[in-house]
Chain A
Amino acid sequence: MVKRIALAQLTSCWGCDQSLLDLHLKLLDVLPSLDIVYWPAVVDFKVADLESMSNHSIHFGFVEGSCRTKEDVHLLKLMRQKSKILVAWGSCSVYGGVQGLGNQWELKDLLERKFLKADTITEGRIPDENLPGFTEHITPNPDIVDFDAILPGCPPTSENTAEALTALITSKSYDLPDKTVCDQCPKERKEKKIKKFYRTHQGHIDQNKCLLDQGYLCLGFATIGLCGAQCPTVNAPCKGCFGPPPSIKDHGAKIISALGAVADMPPEELERAFPDPLGSFYFTDYASSYLSKIRGKQRSKKTK
């Protein structure tokens, strides 16, 4: 039976879409079992078309991106209403995404930087005609509506998405594995005792050895193993863009806890090595951290 699918983009970079398109010829295997009823990147249906569908008439709804504008919130709720199975697709959708780092500031600071104080702007203003308006901060989608499945990744690999889709098409459940990037990594590991941390541009990287053992902040140990360790394989430290495995509730807390255990150096030196723990430990999932959520609650109280 052909299944009806909708793919909707909230505020995002469209990388998750591109990743799906990157199945290329393999797309031809999945497409025949799908009837695409909404996918603005590729197909000419409009929001009004989506609004006019009856509730739960879409078999699979994939939501990419997070809610940076009020229109995003509307589209997210609409997708929930129309879809039988709703999938949070990509780290933006699951955790808020890289734009969640903006939660470190108040909305007015973000607006000011972009529309009033940019170097090339002579006459600033905050645009508001025929525009939806911004949300005060990024709230992860799963805190706004219920999802039936989540697939993190920035973006999920083409294979990740194909696997999830195939499971859904064949009515199997799709669960995330409780393993880490380290479990998938080809580099040679030793007992960890880190005497000094290096930044990625520093020094010479030994291509065979574990990057963390060499003192580079590789977050593979705290990150869900779905991507095939793509970054460490090419000597780039894992930045944790897929978020933590299901058993870890707070990515940054886990990382701090682990670093405290392996860093063999005075605390002051450790502090100097990570002047920006928020940016370093919560690349795509700050919005879903305890700290951001507590801060968000305080903000909402203040604006009420």
Chain B
Amino acid sequence: MKSRFVLLKRLLEEAGFDPERVHLQWASAAEGDVFAEGITSMVERITKLGPNPVRKGD
């Protein structure tokens, strides 16, 4: 399920999140919605993690 992970990583990058913080585990969910919930909880988690995960406007 690495395929989903690579697309997700690109998506997060484009949306302005640091893909380094993404973990493979959420990308393995089969269903779209479970997957989507996965993204939310994941992003919520990573945004709590670091001091400023938001990319500075370049």
Contacts and interface: CB of A to CB of B under 8 A. Distances in A.
Chains A and B touch (C-beta atoms under 8 A apart): yes
Interface of A: 104-106, 108-109, 222, 247-250, 252-261, 263, 265, 267-268, 270-271, 274-279, 281, 290-292, 294-295, 298, 302
Q: Max chain B CB contacts within 10 Å: which of A275, A290, A302?
A: A290
Interface residues of B, number: 32
A263 B6 CA distance: 12
A257 B11 contact: no
Contacts of A250: 32-33, 35-36, 39
A106 B55 CA distance: 11
A161 to B, nearest CB: 28
A281 B11 contact: yes
Contact of B33 (A105, A252, A253): A253
Contacts of B31: 257
A275 B10 CA distance: 7
B35 A256 contact: yes
* Closest 5 A/B residue pairs (Cβ): A254-B32, A260-B4, A253-B36, A250-B36, A271-B6
Q: Max chain A CB contacts within 10 Å: which of B3, B6, B27, B47?
A: B3
A45 B35 CA distance: 47
Contact of A260 (B1, B33, B57): B1
A291 B15 contact: yes
A268 B27 CA distance: 15
A263 B47 contact: no
Contact of B7 (A249, A260, A279, A295): A260
A116 B40 CA distance: 36
A295 B54 CA distance: 8
A239 B2 CA distance: 24
Contacts of B7: 256, 259-260, 270-271, 274, 277
B14 A256 contact: no
Contacts of B15: 104, 278, 291-292, 295
A290 B43 contact: yes
Contacts of B16: 104, 295
A74 B28 CA distance: 43
Nearest to A292: B15
Contacts of B6: 267-268, 270-271
Contact of B39 (A106, A247, A253, A277): A253
B2 A267 contact: yes
Given A249-B36, A291-B15, A298-B47, A256 B54 contact: no
Contacts of B17: 291, 295
